[in-house]
């Protein structure tokens, strides 16, 4: 569900016919060599395919048009090996409607002082060729990605890999479909928004379905399927009955498994890749989905609570970009304001994503003093340490703003025996006071996506591709 594999990137090398066929043949050979080395590096999540040497406006325009119509092409990578007169790129680049990356590199990473001559210079002109080409992209006000450096370097290959993930996320964003089971939580402002504008701007489809439609799926789940998954999950998680009778524990866990299977089938049947629930509307359900939601997030589905479709879709998008690694729906739950301990404890009443777990999650059943339903089963675990970003999307009426800061993730300082939920501690890198004041000033909400696998450069690239205002608090 989460890992999108069926994409590739095209490579178009800039040149011109001034240098003769010998040089053009070499340009093509060098391009293929560079592409093969990148593909063989093992760092790139998607393959690069050589498309053409761009020599004329006609063949460049043709390549870009073909890229638009080939659904397997996520974007185009360009490089000016020789000087490539940039007027030849204008029409094709204007028509391209997929992410564009300008790899400003040179075949050799050095100046061959002993052997360099005019033949070498006819072939290797990226120092000035890349500037001619970059000018026209800047003049066209394009949000193309520029990566400068030697193509064989580790950090450049990592940068290409990260951009590829963003480019695929951009393509996939137009396929994100969120189902809201019930509407959003009554009276809440920050989780609301303009669904039509979200579809225009970000490609997201957001549909309402009544809880009754889900209940029909819940009631139709086969008991044998529930029993099988109940067995299987004991391999992955520790089942802790605690204060519950064995019968109650088993019943309540199995009910969450029933909800998991039902929600998954509902989404599969109707093409959804994310969903929301709302504890205010659970008519016909025994429990607020908890463990059910956590299992679906582990599968890669987007989710947010209380009908927050913006965060559900954002989480799905960042799960695609992170290949579903350590990327979670999160909520600012409570604060540690003591000097030297400044931190936010993140959690939710149940639905914390086990992709950020640092220990083996426990399945537990406890009362939930909200929603008026049966005690829900949930996964309880501890979050992780490491660098992360915390991100939200705010609707200001006239625009969406992507708001984020970099944070340091930590494990909570102690256990919370009376708060049996999964927990993640973090502190904004700019400091809790500065970070929180920046966040509050920007109008960022309390529902976020926390990712240990996406970074600020990727968020910047993503915001550029969508033309979003990006508020990076630092
Ligand atoms: Mn919430």
Domain limits for position 320: 177-473
Average pLDDT, the chain: 97
Residue 1 banded pLDDT, cuts 50, 70, 90 = low
Q: Are residues 165 and 209 in the same domain?
A: no
Using the mean position of ligand 1's atoms as its centre, give its distance from the Cα of residue 446 in Å: 7
How much is the pTM?
A: 0.97
Helix (H) or strand (E) holding 245: none
Does residue 186 surpass a pLDDT of 80? Answer: yes
Q: Are residues 193 and 323 in the same domain?
A: yes
Using the mean position of ligand 1's atoms as its centre, give its distance from the Cα of residue 192 in Å: 13
Q: Are residues 135 and 60 in the same domain?
A: yes
pLDDT (tens digit per residue) in 65-98:
999 999 999 999 999 999 999 999 999 999 999 9
Using the mean position of ligand 1's atoms as its centre, give its distance from the Cα of residue 245 in Å: 30
pLDDT at 121: 95
Q: Phi, psi at residue 215, to the nearest 5°?
A: -55, -40
Q: Residue 82 has which token pair?
A: 């020789």
Does residue 2 surpass a pLDDT of 70? Answer: no
Question: Which residues have their alpha-adjacent CB atom under 5 A from ion ligand 1?
Answer: 305-306, 331
Q: How many Å apart are CA 399 and CA 395, to the nearest integer?
A: 6
Using the mean position of ligand 1's atoms as its centre, give its distance from the Cα of residue 449 in Å: 12
Share of the chain above pLDDT 70, in %: 99
pLDDT (tens digit per residue) in 310-340:
999 999 999 999 999 999 999 999 999 999 9
The answer to whether the beta carbons of residues 24 and 59 sit under 8 Å apart is: no
Domain end residue (candidates: 128, 157, 173): 173
Using the mean position of ligand 1's atoms as its centre, give its distance from the Cα of residue 447 in Å: 6
2 assigned to some structural domain:
no
Using the mean position of ligand 1's atoms as its centre, give its distance from the Cα of residue 217 in Å: 25
Using the mean position of ligand 1's atoms as its centre, give its distance from the Cα of residue 331 in Å: 6
Q: Domain of 136: which CATH number?
A: 3.40.50.10940
pLDDT (tens digit per residue) in 232-254:
999 999 999 999 999 999 999 99
Domain end residue (candidates: 173, 204, 237): 173
Q: Are residues 313 and 337 in the same domain?
A: yes
Using the mean position of ligand 1's atoms as its centre, give its distance from the Cα of residue 347 in Å: 9
Q: Are residues 451 and 402 in the same domain?
A: yes
Using the mean position of ligand 1's atoms as its centre, give its distance from the Cα of residue 336 in Å: 19
1 assigned to some structural domain:
no
Using the mean position of ligand 1's atoms as its centre, give its distance from the Cα of residue 196 in Å: 23
The answer to whether the beta carbons of residues 293 and 264 sit under 8 Å apart is: no
How many domains are contained in the chain?
2
């Amino acid at each position: 569900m989460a890992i999108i594999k069926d994409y590739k990137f095209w490579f178009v090398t800039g040149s011109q016919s001034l240098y003769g066929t010998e040089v053009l043949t070499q340009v093509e050979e060098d391009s293929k060599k560079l592409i093969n080395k990148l593909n063989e590096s093992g760092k790139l999540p998607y393959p690069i395919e050589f498309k053409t040497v761009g020599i004329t406006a006609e063949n460049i325009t043709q390549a870009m048009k073909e890229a638009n119509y080939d659904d397997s092409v996520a974007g185009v990578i360009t490089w000016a090996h020789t000087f490539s007169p940039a007027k030849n790129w204008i029409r094709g680049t204007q028509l391209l409607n997929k992410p564009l990356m300008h790899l400003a590199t040179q075949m050799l990473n050095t100046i061959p002082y002993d052997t360099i001559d005019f033949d070498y210079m006819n072939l290797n002109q990226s120092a000035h060729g890349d500037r001619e080409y970059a000018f026209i992209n800047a003049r066209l006000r394009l949000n193309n990605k520029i990566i400068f450096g030697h193509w064989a370097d580790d950090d450049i290959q990592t940068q290409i890999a990260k951009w590829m993930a963003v480019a695929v996320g951009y393509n996939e964003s137009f396929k994100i479909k969120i189902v809201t089971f019930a509407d959003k939580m009554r009276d809440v402002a920050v989780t609301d928004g303009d669904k039509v504008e979200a579809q225009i701007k970000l490609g997201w489809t957001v549909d309402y379905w009544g809880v009754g439609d889900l209940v029909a799926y819940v009631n139709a789940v086969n008991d044998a399927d529930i029993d099988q998954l109940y067995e299987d999950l004991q391999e992955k998680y520790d089942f802790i009955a605690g204060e519950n009778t064995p019968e109650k524990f088993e019943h309540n866990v199995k009910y969450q498994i029933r909800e998991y299977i039902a929600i998954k089938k509902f989404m599969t049947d109707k093409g959804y890749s994310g969903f929301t629930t709302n504890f205010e509307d659970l008519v016909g359900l025994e429990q607020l989905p908890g463990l059910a939601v956590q299992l679906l997030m582990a599968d890669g589905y987007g989710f947010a609570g209380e009908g927050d479709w913006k965060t559900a879709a954002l989480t799905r998008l960042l799960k695609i970009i992170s290949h579903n690694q350590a990327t979670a729906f999160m909520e600012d739950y409570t604060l540690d304001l003591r000097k030297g301990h400044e931190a936010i404890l993140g959690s939710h009443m149940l639905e914390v994503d086990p992709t950020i777990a640092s220990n083996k999650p426990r399945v537990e059943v406890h009362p939930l003093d909200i929603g008026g339903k049966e005690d829900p089963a949930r996964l309880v675990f501890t979050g992780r340490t490491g660098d992360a970003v915390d991100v939200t999307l705010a609707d200001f009426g006239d625009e969406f703003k992507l708001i984020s800061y970099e944070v340091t993730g930590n494990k909570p300082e102690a256990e919370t025996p009376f708060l049996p939920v999964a927990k993640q501690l973090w502190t904004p890198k700019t400091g809790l006071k500065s970070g929180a004041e920046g966040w509050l000033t920007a109008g960022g909400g309390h529902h976020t996506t926390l990712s240990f696998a996406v970074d600020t450069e990727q968020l910047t690239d993503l915001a550029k591709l969508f033309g979003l205002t990006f508020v990076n608090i630092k």
